[in-house]
Structure 1
Amino acid sequence: MPEFGPQPVERQLPTEEARDLLALVREIAQREIRPTAGEDEHAGRFPRQVFTLLSESGLLGLPYPVEYGGGDQPYEVYLQVVEELASASLTVGLGTSVHTLACHAVAEFGTKEQRAEHLPAMLGGGLLGAYCLSEPAAGSDAAALRMRATREGGAGDWVIDGTKAWITHGGIADFYTALARTGGGGPRGISAFLVPGDAPGLSAAAPERKMGMKNSPTTQLHFDGVRVSADRLLGEEGQGFVVALSALASGRLGIAACAVGVAQAALDEAHAHLRTRQQFGSPLADFQGLRFMVADMATQIEAGRSLLLTAARLRDAGLPFARQAAMAKLFCTDAAMRVTTDAVQLLGGYGYTADFPVERYMREAKVLQIVEGTNQIQRMVIARDLLGPESR
């Protein structure tokens, strides 16, 4: 019988530079990330040195302008980088997506002076960012947030008080893009701020005890009279909800890419097991029922990747892409949950043990159906785009 192996993912990269970039990412993932990913997750050890390496390698600012230290890469390329990182470690892949999300407000809504002052360090200076939108009582209903920023004097500093919840990189980030209420109720009363990670009055609660991604700290953040200068307001006062929504559509593509990466890693592990494990005198790969499972897993991954890259190309072309981003987030994360569950099943008892990575992939896949807007919210976004808002 001829030897078969996992087929390399067919990448749709537009330039030779992009191909070289992805080769670099694969090398870093294989050498620096994958070997310790499982141990780091089990021990709850955040791999900060990996993010330092990614920053030094120019991989934390890929979709942003080169004049500010970014890579000037299209989202189509950036998302394939995120997928590769997530296939080695979801903590690294999702962390890269979160950092990119945290830089968005400065890059897209900051003044020329703000971009020149902050972006070089954020994109290539070793800093790590976080995004602060959710609150204990404002998750899916982000417009109901309560954290408040008040101004001292006519053009003085802003003082921020309140609590944010479910913050990836909470307590370890060097900067936070934070949304706070500066006016009345509803979305028009919200503004965006760039808050230093060491600002007096800013503190993090103990990390949440999560099912997966145990080495990626997720915390509440307490703002107790946190003072930021007037020039750290991003965009216009009251424009914060627009800032948040513009970032979330792109962020959902990052989560979709993470889901494809985790699913691909699970498929690769299952493939290797089926080729080497024997039962009844034959490799498991010879059993039709198992072969059909692998075929379905591979089909879901390829369909998700295609949907994701279609949305990315719309974004790169300057066309509306929010609906397609919601579709990609919905489909890819649901597919990742199915694929990782099937991978555990294909490995049998081995799949249920921590000695094999598929149990970690399954635990990690679950959170991707929740973050950046639950998949129920994605269905609302898609339906609203297709049918208009609900009559109520």
Structure 2
Amino acid sequence: MTVRPEHVLLYAATQGDLVKCYAAADVAGIPYSQCTGDFQTAWSKCADASTLVIAVGGAALYALYYNPCGWSNPAATPAGHTPFTVEPAGQGVQTARANTFVNAAGYTALDSLTLAVMLAYYAVHGAFPRGYASLPAQEVPQRVCVTGSSPHVVGVSVSQGVDPSPTVSTPSVGLYASFSTEQEVLQAFQQGWPGVATTTALGIETSPYTQVIASQPDLHIARAFAATGHSAWWLSFWTVSWPEAGKGFYEAGYAAGAYAASQVEAYPGTRKPDFVILDPEGYNNPASTAAEFQSFIQGFVAGVKSVSQRLQPAFYVNQWQYVTYDLQTVAEPCFLAIAPIEGNRPMVSGSNIRGYIAYYAGCPATSYVNQVKTWGGLYNTVQFRDSGVDCPPA
């Protein structure tokens, strides 16, 4: 028997891990009120046989297992031990037990996020989300008081210490590529491309309707920015499937947006994408009306914002979709697909169009870049046929 959402508690002992709690709650359908950064609350609920507690991140795991920081607790137990045990590793848990909690602490931030999403979802639904296979490796509890951890994480601020995004005031043409290594991103920087873009996730059939691909191209981009402090702009595309039967378009978009934002917030470094972009395609039955299509977009926007207020959601469509579904009326930024590049121009216009995603370019790329610049978008890209970093923009 699964656990009711209101009987699952996601506990974090740092602000970064509390963000992961909210993201996991979004995907699993757990109320935000069931996310806490309060150690005493987590302790009390862990002792209660009716609540399944999930410790998200290493600091929370260590706190509930050893209380190495010596935080006050309802049992007045001194530092060094607690009465709690951890559920067996490597499997989902769907039953609450007194004095036992679930370990969602991975060896990387991304692993902790994935564990939180998978284990929270399993607790409520009795299965992992579609497209998720085995759990990432789970940390072993340690007698370590983690720097920056707190017995009472009051709230989450995601706007502090953020690198400013570049200001783009004239048409700019960056490179869309697969970026399978950090070195490829650095190569694009060195070649003089003013921006980089990639598709970092593909659609899956069930919630959250998108999943980061194995090569993790966005992660390579984040690492390149962290290593160099480069001033290029960054477009992050998320291919999202339409809702499965019985689910609403807003609901599906929301789940995908929350998943995307939670992944982005776990990237290394302080620099994040300038736009987190919904690419609606993949499995299931697509929207057939403007209301459905726009609801899908609005759900994605709300999902992103539920996790991170600093991220800018956007959407990507072709020109036919833009006209057919009345997408010029949507307030969010739009990116339009254009092909071919040579001798072509956009056939639609709208105040929400931020750029054109054009393909394919060749080497030398100068004529293709100059052609796209004439279209007037601020954040544009060209793509080579092999999705590689083939040559400089000029």
| TM-score, structure 2 as length reference | 0.25
Larger radius of gyration between Structure 1 and Structure 2: 2
- Structure number with higher strand proportion: 2
- Structure number with higher helix proportion: 1
| TM-score, structure 1 as length reference | 0.25
